[in-house]
Amino acid sequence: MKKSFLSIAVLAVVLATSCQQAPEAAKAETTEKQEAASVAGATAYTIDTTTSSVGWLGTKPVGKHNGDFKLSGGSLSVEAGVVKGGNFVIDINSIKNLDLTDAESNGKLIGHLKSPDFFDAAKFPTAKFEITSVEALQNDSTNTHKISGNLTLKDSTKNVTFPAKIIVTDNNVKALASFNIDRTNWGLRYGNDQSLGDKFIHPEVNISLDIEARK
């Protein structure tokens, strides 16, 4: 009985810990800013800001929060049915939390995320992603391409590389991706101290892209 109890306790601890980590996803390779991809001669598909979004998920030892941002503009450049480049702008003030049902708690969290502790939305109301390269993937059942691009958050720009699924038709481009970044690479260091215990916030944040562009 004692052995059984210990096994259950250990399993519970493992499950509790794993549930509060960033989701299993590709870890974006992060390097310094690169030159934007050339799009000369390509056709521009305009980002549909009504259907596109950037999701986020952050975790700490005792919980997690998730939500999304809306886009305020951008375009993807297509040549011969292949995405060659492009960019989109993220509206930081559009940030939403999707897991807190209590209005007061939700408002406090959003207010904190918009504060200088995190995104400093008053000073930096937008973020931006600009494609630097697109490479076709082989033998990947989930993703079709590897995308690299400059991600600007606040006053920092880093190049990130991650897998994505891209579908191009005559009049539409759909791009889906899920990957983890280390927020401290962009100077977002609030709560990134393990001595804080339950108040510690993991540096890894999951980013999910659901981007649609139309000719």
Amino acid at 132: T
Tens of pLDDT, residue by residue over 27-63, are 999 999 999 999 999 999 999 999 999 999 999 988 9
| CB atoms inside a 10 Å sphere around CB 159 | 19
User: Which domains are present in the chain?
Assistant: 22-214 (2.40.128.110)
Contact 72, 126 (CB under 8 A): yes
Tens of pLDDT, residue by residue over 69-103, are 999 999 999 999 999 999 999 999 999 999 999 99
Residue 117, pLDDT > 90, answer yes
- Give the pLDDT mean for 203-207: 97
Q: Read off the pLDDT band of 193 (50, 70, 90).
A: confident
Residue 198, pLDDT > 50, answer yes
Cα→Cα distances 156→129, 140, 159, 173, 183, Å: 12, 32, 10, 28, 11
Tens of pLDDT, residue by residue over 123-169, are 999 999 999 999 999 999 999 999 999 999 999 999 999 999 999 99
* pLDDT confidence of residue 20: 54
Handedness of CA 187, 159, 26, 93 (dihedral sign): positive
Position with higher pLDDT, 19 vs 175: 175
Position with higher pLDDT, 12 vs 54: 54
For the chain, what percent of residues have pLDDT higher than 90? Answer: 81
Q: What H or E segment, with its residue span, contains residue 2?
A: helix 2-19
- Chain mean pLDDT for the chain: 90
Residue 3, pLDDT > 70, answer no
Contact 77, 59 (CB under 8 A): no
* pLDDT confidence of residue 22: 62
* pLDDT confidence of residue 8: 40
Q: Which two tokens stand for residue 135?
A: 């490479």
* pLDDT confidence of residue 62: 84
| CB atoms inside a 10 Å sphere around CB 107 | 12
Position with higher pLDDT, 5 vs 114: 114
* pLDDT confidence of residue 24: 72
* pLDDT confidence of residue 23: 64
